[in-house]
Amino acid sequence: MPVAVTLTHAAVLPDTLPDDVVVAVAVRSGHLTEDAPGVDVDLAKLGGFEGKTGQLHVAATDAGARLLVGVGGEPDPTAYRRIGAAVARKAGSHEALVVDLLASFEGAERVAAAEALATGLVLGTYRFGAYKPAPEGTTLGAITLLGKGGARVAAAVERGVAIATAMVLVRDLVNTPGGDLTPKAFAAEATKVATGAGLEIEVLDKAAIRKAKLGGLLGVNRGSAQEPRFVKVTHRPEGRAKGKVALVGKGVTFDAGGLSIKTATGMEWMKTDMAGAATVLGAMSLVPTVAPKLEVTAYLPLTDNMLGPDATRVGDVLTARNGKTIEVLNTDAEGRLILADALCLAVEDEPDAIIDLATLTGAVIVALGERTAGAMTNHDGLRERVLDAADAAGEAMWPLPLPDHLRKGLDSEVADLRNIGAGPYGGALTAALFLREFVGDVPWVHLDIAGPADTTSAWDENTRGGTGFAVRTLVNLLATWTKLPPA
């Protein structure tokens, strides 16, 4: 369970504190803030600590030991997520943490800083412990924030904790091995999450998937001993909805590549290939709170991609939900096959917009690196909204084009489409062009999150493994949703 974070409406620390409590105070521009009275320390003696953003130093002060936290000359609320994570990690071996870092802000900036700080503090304590317990004495038990601001700041802290909790759910799912997080197990977790959040949920088993004519999902699943699942989760508001949004997430619970088998190194992180579905599920858990008047439905196709005796062969032709036929020329280009069916179902429900998320291509990592997602679209206005939401969330996304001249490379001599392009370049773009064939005229954005969905090393608020990337973007997007203008 994520660590508990509470807000105390106090301007100063209490006179006495329990044993083994770390107290974090802000330092800006080389001096302690005036809102931390009674604390005095000679910064010149701290060996290079200057109060720069994110700098930490434990120092003896006239009020006792304090964790000095650099917040920069002009504190920035957007930096408080990574500051919070750093503080929580530093205090991880203690029973409790008291954080006094909000005094530099007023009004809306204090609200934004409180939300970011609460999110960072929770994420900074994250550890995936399903198979290995934490060493004794390394688990922070409770965090208390000090800060004035009334109900708005309290609500911001609550929202920040809720967002972090959703991201922890995503991280746990992404970090769970594919042998344990089977499609059936993922569907069971989705049922638990949906029930807890008051959401509608429908789970299709293999027979129902076959009846629904989800040929892409069935084709990818042919090599597996694990049955597929298709999960549909819906938030239906009371009264008239102010809009209708579809979220689609790729859910390949382990990707061995099928008969186009991956290398051993390439397969090492393939338990994470369901990060798109996990991210959508995490965001859905927050919809009743952040977007109560918006109708939002998630479409999650779930399977692994294995090499069993009846695995889809190279050259086989699959038929998607909408009747389009697909020649499979690389069984490792499987994510687009299951997304095709999910996009068809989303279109049939007539949403105002569709956003899909998928760890779809290595090509997007070549283009944008490991920390930036690619955003592709058939509606520039929708993409701008998504990018604005990502910018506000502190999540890096970059617009990529859908060049029409690359579409010709998806033409097949035996089917409506090939599942890969004819040339070696632009793989992220041709994958998105393939998906575009299944959305019709519905405004749609495809987010290829193959890079930032997981990380091999810790940075900012992220630990090694799943990151929970794009949950904050979806929350911002849905919370501020208004009717789209024409394309």
| Helices 380-393 & 471-479 angle (0-180, nearest 10) | 120
Could you tell me where in the chain the CATH 3.40.220.10 domains are found? 4-165
- For residue 34, the model assigns a pLDDT of 45
Strand ranges (DSSP E) for 71-161?
Answer: 96-100, 142-146
Measured between alpha carbons, how far is 96 from 157 in angstroms, rounded to an integer?
17
| pTM summary value | 0.95
Q: Judge whether 216 and 340 are in contact, CB under 8 Å.
A: yes
Measured between alpha carbons, how far is 246 from 343 in angstroms, rounded to an integer?
9
pLDDT in tens, the chain (487 residues): 677 777 776 555 555 566 678 888 887 765 554 444 445 556 666 677 888 888 998 887 777 778 889 888 888 899 999 999 999 999 888 888 889 899 888 899 999 999 999 999 999 999 998 998 877 766 787 888 888 878 999 999 999 999 999 999 999 999 999 999 999 999 999 999 999 999 999 999 999 999 999 999 999 999 999 999 999 999 999 999 999 999 999 999 999 999 999 999 999 999 999 999 999 999 999 999 999 999 999 999 999 999 999 999 999 999 999 999 999 999 999 999 999 999 999 999 999 999 999 999 999 999 999 999 999 999 999 999 999 999 999 999 999 999 999 999 999 999 999 999 998 999 999 999 999 999 999 999 999 999 999 999 999 999 999 999 999 999 999 999 999 988 7
- For residue 40, the model assigns a pLDDT of 56
Closest CA to 360 of 391, 339, 331, 390: 339
SS3 of residue 40 by DSSP: coil
Q: Catalytic residue among 336, 385, 418, 436, which? A: 336
- Give the pLDDT confidence of 231-286 residue by residue, as tens digits: 999 999 999 999 999 999 999 999 999 999 999 999 999 999 999 999 999 999 99
Give the pair of three-digit tokens for residue 380.
């520039």
Q: Judge whether 343 and 320 are in contact, CB under 8 Å.
A: no
- CA 56, distance to chain mean position in Å, is 27
Q: Is 222 a catalytic residue?
A: no
- For residue 15, the model assigns a pLDDT of 58
Could you tell me where in the chain the CATH 3.40.630.10 domains are found? 176-479
Q: Catalytic residue among 242, 244, 262, 324, which? A: 262
Q: Which CATH superfamily is domain 4-165 in?
A: Leucine Aminopeptidase, subunit E, domain 1 (3.40.220.10)
Q: Judge whether 410 and 417 are in contact, CB under 8 Å.
A: yes
The four Cα atoms 263, 268, 273, 279 give a dihedral, to 10 degrees, of -160
* Triad 216, 273, 394: Cα angle to 5°: 120
Measured between alpha carbons, how far is 447 from 466 in angstroms, rounded to an integer?
17
Adjacent-strand bridge partners of 297? 234, 246
- For residue 35, the model assigns a pLDDT of 42
Pick the CATH number of 176-479 from 3.40.190.10, 3.40.630.10, 1.10.150.120, 3.40.50.970: 3.40.630.10
Measured between alpha carbons, how far is 467 from 452 in angstroms, rounded to an integer?
7
Runs of H (alpha helix) within 176-214: 183-197, 206-211
Q: Judge whether 114 and 157 are in contact, CB under 8 Å.
A: yes
- For residue 16, the model assigns a pLDDT of 57
- For residue 431, the model assigns a pLDDT of 98
Token pair 């997981």 in the structure block, residue: 454
Q: Is 321 a catalytic residue?
A: no
